[in-house]
Amino acid sequence: MDFTQSKGSSLKDVPHFLSIGGQVLDLSQHAIVVGILNVTPDSFSDGGRFFDSGKAIEHGLQMVADGAAIIEVGGESTRPGAEPVPVDEECRRILPVIRALANHTTAFLSVDTRKAAVAEAALEAGVHMINDVSGLRFDPHMAQVAARSGAAVTIMHMRGTPQDMQQHCQYQDVVHEVCHELQASVHMALDAGVDPDRIVVDPGFGFAKTWEQNLELLRRLGELRSLGRPIMVGTSRKSMIRRIVGDDSHALLIGTAATLVLAIQAGARLLRVHDVKEAVMVTKVCEAVERDA
């Protein structure tokens, strides 16, 4: 496959459909927002803020009210060097939150986990999607769990594990290699029987990439369209932005918004963010511009 195709883009020329929760979302004309809900003590940006189930549920419902189409619940931080969390503890953190959100909202729910046992428990509790930052490589059972359940799956690119990933940043051509490695993960999913319409791909900003490589990935994000699946981006508040604009929360918000505009223009359709309201505004402006084109 020629990964150098698909450079110029517009919202209109990305005919992407996503099957999730018994519905087919047409993402060809617009991008959707995925609200991050980290039920962790140590996430890089919001660690500890929603570790309490009650606060997490409240925040999840607020993100739905703010316009998130999907709420993504995670119980294990994947920031560089984060401590791994055992299955029982990850389940203890996320399951009450997922159950409550499933009862109180019709938004789609996703679980951010690398572990098949956690994904299975989350599916039972009501999620419609699995986001695996290891691209189905960490747990050999993950692809089967995804296939059996009929859930949508986000396949993200990473090398190594969160503990050692920053030692695996050697690329000849980062965009080419990310595409090839994502494609291998997509094939694993297809071989296990995952419906292609349920698959989303994500280049994994900040995962086994240097700052320069993150910027190059964003600059050439359109090349991922050759994978033929909707693209998710997770740049929100990350160090690739922090290094440019500094630590201040307002600066990070504006910096994140800039990356979202660039990503949408390159063809991204799922925006994984902490600040839902602002990301929804970004999508509305981008859509309005495209509509009038």
CA angle 95, 194, 64 (to 5 degrees): 40
- Please report whether residue 283 would count as binding ligand HH2 according to CB under 6 A: no
Chosen residue from 149, 154, 213, 256 binding ligand HH2 by CB under 6 A: 154
Site string for ligand HH2, 247-276 (x = CB under 6 A): -------------------------x----
Rounded to a whole number, what is the distance in angstroms from the first to the last CA of the chain? 31
Number of Cα atoms under 13 Å in the Cβ half of residue 177: 13
Give the three-class secondary structure for 35: strand
Residue 131 or residue 161: which is nearer to ligand HH2 going by CB? Answer: 131
Chosen residue from 25, 32, 33, 43 binding ligand HH2 by CB under 6 A: 43
Query: Nearest approach, Cβ of 115 to ligand HH2 (angstroms)?
Result: 14
The candidate with the shortest Cα–Cα distance to 277, out of 248, 256, 246, 262, is 256
H or E segment and range at residue 103:
helix 87-104
Residue 2 or residue 259: which is nearer to ligand HH2 going by CB? Answer: 259
> Could you tell me which stretch among 35-43, 54-62, 119-127, 215-223 binds ligand HH2 (CB under 6 A)?
35-43
Active site residue 238: yes
H or E segment and range at residue 112:
strand 108-112
DSSP tag of 186: H
> Could you tell me which stretch among 42-50, 94-102, 189-197, 211-219 binds ligand HH2 (CB under 6 A)?
42-50
Residue 44 or residue 138: which is nearer to ligand HH2 going by CB? Answer: 44
- Please report whether residue 50 would count as binding ligand HH2 according to CB under 6 A: no
Token pair for 257: 């918004």
H or E segment and range at residue 109:
strand 108-112
Query: Nearest approach, Cβ of 24 to ligand HH2 (angstroms)?
Result: 21
Active site residue 272: yes
- CA atoms of 137 and 185, how far apart (whole Å): 8
Residue 4 or residue 45: which is nearer to ligand HH2 going by CB? Answer: 45
The backbone torsions φ and ψ at residue 202, rounded to the nearest 5 degrees and listed phi first, read -145, 130
Token pair for 162: 């969160």
Q: Taking phi first (over 0 means left), then psi (-120 to 50 degrees means alpha), and beta for anything else, what does residue 237 get?
A: left
Site string for ligand HH2, 194-213 (x = CB under 6 A): --------x-xx--------
Q: Return the active site residues.
A: 238, 272
The residues that touch ligand HH2, with contacts defined as CB under 6 A, are 36, 38, 40, 43-45, 74, 77-79, 112, 131, 133, 154, 156, 202, 204-205, 232, 234, 272
